[in-house]
Structure 1
Amino acid sequence: MEASVKGTIAPAQSLRTLLEGNRVSRISVRGFAVASATAVTTVGAVVGVATGDPASNDLETTASGMTLLADIPVGQQAEVQNASLTQQADSIAHAADTDAKRSAEEAARIQAAQDAKSKKAEAQKAADDKAKQERDEKEQAASRSASRDGSSFAPQASYTVAQVKAIAQQMVPAGQFQCFSKIINQESTWNYQAVNKSSGAYGLVQALPGSKMASAGADWRTNPATQIEWGLNYMNSRYGSPCGAWNFHQANNWY
């Protein structure tokens, strides 16, 4: 007998109702097929197979045949097809949502691990930088304390360039001497009595005015050790070190 279809039936219930109404309740769900005018379309997992519904077991049979669309009343054929396809689409969408959620959770876990690793690396770098700065400061302080000051050199009537350099090497920390030497080469070419005719700057470090060097010793005009002591103190206080002064000098041609 033909069953009349009224309204829209849920996909799984629709198939069960339609098939039972047409005396095909004991067909194999996994083998259900529909036939069109030109081909036979397989509809897999019509009821319960795609969704895992145990209730669908009562529809299974050992029969090897398949029910064709032609065996179902014409008025119900389209609904049978739509119900099957809708249920399969819902199952695919559910599986896709599950996979997407799993992928999102895995991506979040990986990102959290990467963020933690980056923060740890940044913290370690900051700690290393701080430790290095402290070591450098200690080394510079130790170097300065080991260096001689201007008063430890006996005054002479005159000095050669070699003698002036030898004094500077004993007063300037070893790691800063090259920078100090470059500044002196630029400013006075190691002439402790050099005078800038335009500005009046005087001595090895070209202090302006030269009388500033009196803070290191009254003999600032004639004693290169006094000039070196004043120049070194100036570079340390203004630029942090002779190398800091040399970096500024390179960029500005003065310091």
Structure 2
Amino acid sequence: MQKRSTFTPVRRARHHSPLLVVSGVLLGALLASGAGAGAMAATGEQPVNETLVDVTADANVSLGAARATLIDVEAIGDEIEESGLDVTGSTDIDTSTLRAAIGKLDDLTTLPLMLVPELADDVEAATSTAQTRVAQVRARFDEAVAKKAAVDAAAEAAAKAAAEAAALAAANTPDGAKATAQRLMAERYGWGGDQFSCLASLWQKESSWNYQAYNAGSGATGIPQALPGSKMAEAGADWQTNAATQIAWGLDYISRAYGSPCAAWGHSQATNWY
């Protein structure tokens, strides 16, 4: 009988497919981080799904801020153009980097999840740079607006002062003083044309309706020849330079002392003073 030879089979090495190797690595990473099936079963949570939601939500927030910044850039540009003001320094705002970053992150549905956070960071960085530039340009524009407002206010004040000076100069003439007196006596005392005729004669005799009249002998001053002239401060601090103030005081004096201009004129004709 032929003796059989003993034979020990050799085990061949098992070859794993690359897909299985990668899957095993990923599974090991999930298990090591506590995100494996056992961890999910213990906590009842779904970390992978929550991460996807959170990352997408954060990316959308970043995109919203970026788009709002682009609107701010356009708005400040429009304001500057419409104002026509000369803004100090450059007002250009480069948005090319921001637009490019938005474009890369814009379609979240087709992006690999692992790329989203980095692209969102790029968007946020570009947004911050653009916002800083917008703030700089806005500050320069606001400065130009304030400067223009100050210039306009100064011009308006100067024009108002000039108008007031012209009006005062006109009111301080004899004709201007008479017009003021006729208006004030009608408004405040109800005196008509007959009373004005008496007043016109009275103050023509006293001062020729000259607000700068001064009697060196007695010290009587102004259109109504107040004695002393400082009495007219009761009607206004500008009694030395404003015929209207002198007239207001003079009419009040006549009303209190005589009752009417014609009564004062009659007294003046009889005594040569009133």
> TM class by shorter-chain length?
0.3 to 0.5
Q: Which has the higher helix share?
A: 2
TM-score (norm 2): 0.36
TM-score (norm 1): 0.38
